[in-house]
Amino acid sequence: MKTSETAKTPIPHLAEPCWDDVSRLPIEPGDEPLVPMSLAPEPVKVFPAYARLGIPGAVPECYVRESVYRRLLLVARALPPGTGLVVLDGWRPWRVQQYLFDTLYETIRTHHPEFDEETLLERTREFISVPSRDPSAPSPHLTGGAVDVTLCDADGLMLEMGSLFDEASPASHSDFLERSDDLDERQRRARDHRRLLYHAMHAQGFTNLPSEWWHYDYGDQLWAHYGGHVQAIYGPTELDTIENRWRRQ
C-alpha cells in the first residue's frame, strides 16, 4: 500500500481480546534468540522508555526476537522519506510487568473507589496484561514478540499520535480518531500518523492490540489470536546471561 493510500485508509475496529481465549492458544516455541534493537541501522531509533522513566528493573535496551527485528527493519525502510521508526519497548522482565500492572491497578482503584474487583481487573488489563511466566500463557512482552513503537521525523522527534505512549485513556485506542468526522488539524495529523504506522506494521505481518496504538505483536498468542493463526511460535524467554552460557557449556 502506498503512503498516500495509508493516510486515507482507516484503521479497522477490532474487539478487545478475550484473554481466556488468547491464553488457550497453543504455543510451539523454537529457540529463536532475543537480539538488541540498538544494532539496527537508520531509520530505526531505539528509546527504551521504561529505563528512561526509571521503572524498577527495566533494562536500558529494547530486545526482540530475531524475526521481529528483521520485520521492524522492513517496516522502517518502507516508511516515507523523512519518517523513522522508534522502538520504545520489546522484551520485558517479569518484575517490570508486575510493577506496571500493580501501579496502574492501584491508580485506577484510587480514582474509582466504586469499582469492584472484576471491573478493576478489566480496566487494568485494557492497557497492561496480567504478569505471567506460565509457559502456556505468558504475558506478551515476556515473549520478545510484542513491541511498542511510534514514528519520528527526520530530526528524531516523535510525531503527534493523539495520545502519549502508555496513556491509559480511551484516546489511546488505535481507532479512536477514526470515530469522529470533526477533528482539528492536530488530530487529523495524529490520525494519519496512526494509519501510517498501522498499515506499515500490518504489511510486515504484525497485529495490533486495539486498546494501544503503539502495541504490535508477532509470533505470540495475541498475534495468533488477531492473525487467525492456529498456534503461537513464541513462549516466555529470558536474556542470555554469562551464567546461562556457562551452564550450557
Query: Beta 84-89 vs 44-46: how paired, if at all?
Result: parallel
Closest among 164, 124, 169 to 148, alpha carbons compared: 164
Bridge partners (DSSP) listed for residue 45: 86
Please pick, among 5, 114, 118, 212, the residue that the annotation labels catalytic.
Answer: 212
Coil/strand/helix, residue 246 = helix
Cell of 157: 522527534
Does residue 199 have a known ligand-binding role? no
Query: Beta 84-89 vs 63-65: how paired, if at all?
Result: unpaired
Does residue 141 have a known ligand-binding role? yes
Contact call for residues 142 and 193 (beta carbons, < 8 A): no
Is 178 marked active-site?
Answer: no
Distance CA 36, CA 43 (A): 15
Spacing of C-alpha 171 from chain mean position? 16
Phi-psi region at 144: left, alpha or beta (left = phi > 0; alpha = psi -120 to 50): left
* Sheet containing 207-208, strands listed edge to edge, beginning at the edge strand earlier in sequence: 44-46, 84-89, 146-152, 215-217, 207-208
Coil/strand/helix, residue 28 = coil
Which residue has 522513566 as its cell numbers?
53
The amino acid present at 186, given as its one-letter code, is R
Cell of 236: 516466555
Catalytically annotated residues? 212
List the binding residues.
Answer: 141, 148, 215
List the binding residues for Zn(2+).
Answer: 141, 148, 215
